[in-house]
């Protein structure tokens, strides 16, 4: 899986972890080349695809300076907007 889209989308590893329901340590390992557990692979693949689509569709990255407490909500909103248009 290609996790480089997270950087392009401005999605932090901790935010991605919350979106897919895993630990931030797991995401860190995956981005460094560690294998993804099969029970999570489908969800992760779909989320990466949605993040890529939202990025190339102009919904991500979220505005610079968005407070940390609001980043996950803003990312979720961007993904919903993209998926509704797709």
Query: What is the structure's pLDDT at 12?
Result: 96
Respond yes or no on whether the N-terminal peptide bond of residue 61 is cis (omega within 30° of 0): yes
Question: How confident is the model over 2-50, as pLDDT tens digits?
Answer: 999 999 999 999 999 999 999 999 999 999 999 998 888 999 999 999 9
Query: What is the structure's pLDDT at 86?
Result: 76
Angle among Cα 29, 31, 35 to the nearest 5 degrees reads: 55
Angle among Cα 47, 53, 54 to the nearest 5 degrees reads: 90
Query: What is the structure's pLDDT at 22?
Result: 95
Residue-wise DSSP of 10-62: T--HHHHHHHHTS-HHHHHHHHTTPPPPHHHHHHHHHHHHHHHHHHHTT--SP
Please provide residue 19's backbone torsions phi and psi, each rounded to the nearest 5 degrees: -65, -35
pTM over 0.75: yes
Query: What is the structure's pLDDT at 37?
Result: 86
Query: What is the structure's pLDDT at 33?
Result: 92
Query: What is the structure's pLDDT at 52?
Result: 97
């Amino acid at each position: 899986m290609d996790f480089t889209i997270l950087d392009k989308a401005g999605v932090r590893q901790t935010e991605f972890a919350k979106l897919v329901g895993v630990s931030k340590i797991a995401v860190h390992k995956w981005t460094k080349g560690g294998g993804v557990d099969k029970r999570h692979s489908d969800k992760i693949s779909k989320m990466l695809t949605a993040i890529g689509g939202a990025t190339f569709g102009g919904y991500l990255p979220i505005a610079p300076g968005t407070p940390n407490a609001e980043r996950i909500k803003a990312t979720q909103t961007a993904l919903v907007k993209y998926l509704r248009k797709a």
